[in-house]
Structure 1
Amino acid sequence: MSFWKSLFGGGAADAAPAGDKVLGEEAYKGFAIKAIEMKAGSELQLAGTIEKTIDGVLKTHRFVRADRMSSRDDLTALALSKGKQIIDEQGEKIFS
């Protein structure tokens, strides 16, 4: 794995742990975006996953951002929006 991928994350190895609580999900351009609950003290940190089945294999990319908030609804909306932005910018390249 490259230095940048290990630093910023990427690819199937970054799949969300099975115990993650999904706050919301949305389909977008053939991808599935999920907002994940990630507690940071008394606040929630922006996190989510982007999934797509490619050649019969489910690929997952986990993203975590520095944004923190206390509202689950706001966090969910922002995580889904951030997932769309990542897809628009990188497409399937996020899995390589």
Structure 2
Amino acid sequence: MLGKMFKSLFSSSGEGKAKSSSKATTVQHDAFRIIAEPQSNNGQWQVSGRIEKDFGETTKVHTFIRADTMPDEEAAAREMVRKAKMMIDQLGDSIFD
């Protein structure tokens, strides 16, 4: 019993903390790369990831984390891709300003 208590106190799993997904989903949309990286947070999956675009030899990155949560990792990844496509369609390159 005491061992379990110490293990939970000093464990690095951090159940209440956000933890990035071990797998990232990458989707191409126009000249942009959408990388969905849902984060585990309190038993839910938070919608997060990044949008990238190459400008010559430079890659610009826009990273975001939304308040939206989903019950599973795949749903959070799909929602991130959907939101990223909408953002790209509305803002284009100004995402990186």
Q: What's the CA shift for 1:42?
A: 1.2
Relative distance call for 1:22 and 1:87 in structure 2 (3 A) is: farther
Relative distance call for 1:35 and 1:59 in structure 2 (3 A) is: same
Aligned partners of 2:38 and 2:26: how far apart in 1? 12
Equivalent residue letter for 1:65: R
Runs of 5+ unmatched residues, structure 2: 1-19
How many residues are aligned here? 78
Identity %: 28
Q: Deviations over 1:41-79 (max 9, x none)?
A: 111110010000113201100111111012112111111
Equivalent residue letter for 1:58: T
Equivalent residue letter for 2:84: G
Residues 21 and 40 in structure 2, CA contact (< 8 A), matched pair in contact too: no
Q: What's the CA shift for 1:20?
A: 6.2
- Scaled by the length of structure 2, the TM-score of the pair is 0.73
Aligned counterpart, 2:88: 87
Higher relative contact order (CA 8 A, sep 6+): 1
- Scaled by the length of structure 1, the TM-score of the pair is 0.73
